[in-house]
Structure 1
């Protein structure tokens, strides 16, 4: 585990992001097709990795990035007490190794270190039981469900909204 990814990690992050969008399209608002059409995506990732209030944590195995999660603090003054968990993904070949939990714990600790953050929000597809169990284990609670939150081809996916109060 490393504290936070750096611009030098942008290529590996982008490659893992594309894998995530391809392997688990129901878990992300962005589609693989949209992602591969972006201009200079690696430069964009590198820039995002340096944005204030954006913390992207990664897990490496043999120098290969195998898991990521982003903690993003809200910037408007009235919302700055909130942060969001985004882009959580662990490569299928590494699932079951505890990587997701370690990544989330790192993000939660980062949030706790910022005095203004009082809560962390996330969304998860209702059928993703494995992820929901992990979030619940770490203290997240469902506070709402959006019906038909995502539409992929002709299939709809509902999403649970979850919160962890720090």
Structure 2
């Protein structure tokens, strides 16, 4: 699915662009750099840096092409000065009984935390989803110690509906619970 490029101001006065780039090797490399950096900076992504190191540029080009062609997902990235600084993706559930639901994932590079990148991406995605008359709720998981992300989601109307114990194991063996959150559209 394609989206229109959207330009927004970060809290520091700089400019970011929400877009879905073409499926080229250059953009695949940029996505791979982003995924490796974000997975190295925070334990809250499902993939570790070691997991991302197993991905190839071709994998990322295929992901970009799938995102452009897909009817069951919506994806975009945030770019500043040619660097990917954030990513947002929603999977639309197409089964008849679950068609009213969408699952969201969002990440931002640590240097851009607190500058409004996550807010811009989340607000943009929720606005896109409100255009689908059959989607009634957006769902996500956030880990118990990720209070910054949880606060962002709550600001946009997400509420905790359940807890999954021991959903994520950190490198040191610590287990974190996941909060399942839902936002009604």
Whether the TM-score (by the shorter chain) exceeds 0.5 is yes
Contact 1:123-1:160 at 8 Å conserved across structures: yes
The secondary structure found in structure 1 opposite 2:145 is coil
Alignment of 1:110-149 (within 5 A): 110-149=128-167
Q: Distance in 2 between matches of 1:28 and 1:2?
A: 21
Cross-structure match for 2:18: 2
Q: Distance in 1 between matches of 2:101 and 2:48?
A: 26
- More displaced 10-residue stretch of structure 1: 38-47 or 107-116: 38-47
- More displaced 10-residue stretch of structure 1: 55-64 or 108-117: 55-64
Contact 2:140-2:182 at 8 Å conserved across structures: yes
Cross-structure match for 2:82: 63
Larger CA Rg, structure 1 vs 2? 2
Unpaired runs of 5+ in structure 2? 1-16
The secondary structure found in structure 1 opposite 2:75 is strand
Residues 76 and 14 (structure 1 numbering): CA distance in 2 closer, same or farther, change over 3 Å? farther
Cross-structure match for 1:85: 104
Q: Distance in 2 between matches of 1:97 and 1:106?
A: 16
Residues 75 and 30 (structure 1 numbering): CA distance in 2 closer, same or farther, change over 3 Å? farther
Q: 1:90, CA displacement in angstroms?
A: 1.1
Question: Structure 1 length as normaliser, TM-score?
Answer: 0.89
Contact 1:4-1:55 at 8 Å conserved across structures: no
Please tell me whether residue 15 in structure 1 is matched to residue 33 in structure 2.
yes
- More displaced 10-residue stretch of structure 1: 41-50 or 96-105: 41-50
- In the alignment of these two chains, the number of paired residues is 164
Please tell me whether residue 34 in structure 1 is matched to residue 57 in structure 2.
no
Q: Aligned Cα RMSD in Å?
A: 1.7
Q: Distance in 1 between matches of 2:47 and 2:142?
A: 14
Please tell me whether residue 151 in structure 1 is matched to residue 169 in structure 2.
yes
Q: Distance in 1 between matches of 2:94 and 2:34?
A: 27
Unpaired runs of 5+ in structure 1? none
Q: Residue deviations 1:15-53, cap 9 Å, x none?
A: 21121212113x122232223223532233223322222
Cross-structure match for 2:5: none
